[in-house]
Amino acid sequence: MFTIINAIPGAIGEVLRVDVYRDENRPDRQEKVGQGYPLNPVLRENFVFTPHHQRVPAERTDWWDLPYIQSMTWEQSEVQSRQALQAWDDGLNPIEFEARIKAHKESFFAFNPSGTKYTVYCPDGGAWDRPTRWGCFPTLEEAIERCDNGPLWRRCKQEAALCV
């Protein structure tokens, strides 16, 4: 068990929360797809909000350069959308509120006909303070392909390094 202390994003001042990197959070404990990519991994609280330099060595070693996939169904997305709209409280009346949810649903299903979105993330230094988002995909197969090949920007960077 490892303890990580980090600031919670958006907090006023530096509100610190202690997160524990547990055995259940390690990549070898996760469901895998493709060439061993974690699918919907059980991550410690605030994993995605922790700058890489604040991660304990075991977490950096375990997860660095390991892409993982998070799936989200329309139902999960709808819950998040409703919570976000309520939190923003931008004066929407109930009809406008439901119209925004309906528009979000149409957009979600236009890109994700199966009703599930697959997002690939990787702690690789592309962002200093969180795992890098490698893209969103309408199928698990496309997400696995991105895990296999990485994003174009990363491949170009690697190829350029080989030419030096």
Average pLDDT over residues 28-36: 97
Average pLDDT for the chain: 86
Comparing 36-40, 98-102, 111-115, the range with the smallest average pLDDT is 98-102
| Predicted confidence band of residue 35 (pLDDT cuts 50, 70, 90) | very high
The domain of 15 spans 2-163
- Write the secondary structure of the chain as one string of H (helix), E (strand) and C (coil): CEEEEEECCCCCCCCEEEEEECHHHCHHHCCEECCCEEECCCCCCCHHHCCHHHCCHHHHHHHCCCCEEEEEEHHHHHHHHHHHHHHHCCCCCHHHHHHHHHHHHHHHHHHCCCCEEEEEEECCCCCCCCCEEEEEECCHHHHHHHHHHCCHHHHHHHHHHHHC
pLDDT of residue 79: 87
| Predicted confidence band of residue 157 (pLDDT cuts 50, 70, 90) | low
The count of structural domains within the chain is 1
Residue 25 near residue 43, CB atoms below 8 Å: yes
Q: Which of 12, 17, 27, 1 is nearest to 54 (CA)?
A: 17
Tell me the longest C-alpha to C-alpha distance in the chain: 59
Average pLDDT over residues 113-127: 96
Which amino acid is residue 140, in one-letter code? Answer: L
Structural tokens at position 24: 């259940």
| Predicted confidence band of residue 47 (pLDDT cuts 50, 70, 90) | very high
Angle between helices 74-88 and 94-111 (to 10 degrees): 140
Q: Is the pLDDT of residue 89 over 80?
A: no
Share of the chain above pLDDT 90, in %: 60
Ramachandran assignment for 86, one of left (phi > 0), alpha (psi -120 to 50 degrees), beta (any other):
alpha
Structural tokens at position 154: 């990363």
Residue 100 near residue 92, CB atoms below 8 Å: yes
pLDDT of residue 14: 54
Q: Return the top range by mean pLDDT from 50-59, 65-74, 86-95, 150-159.
A: 65-74
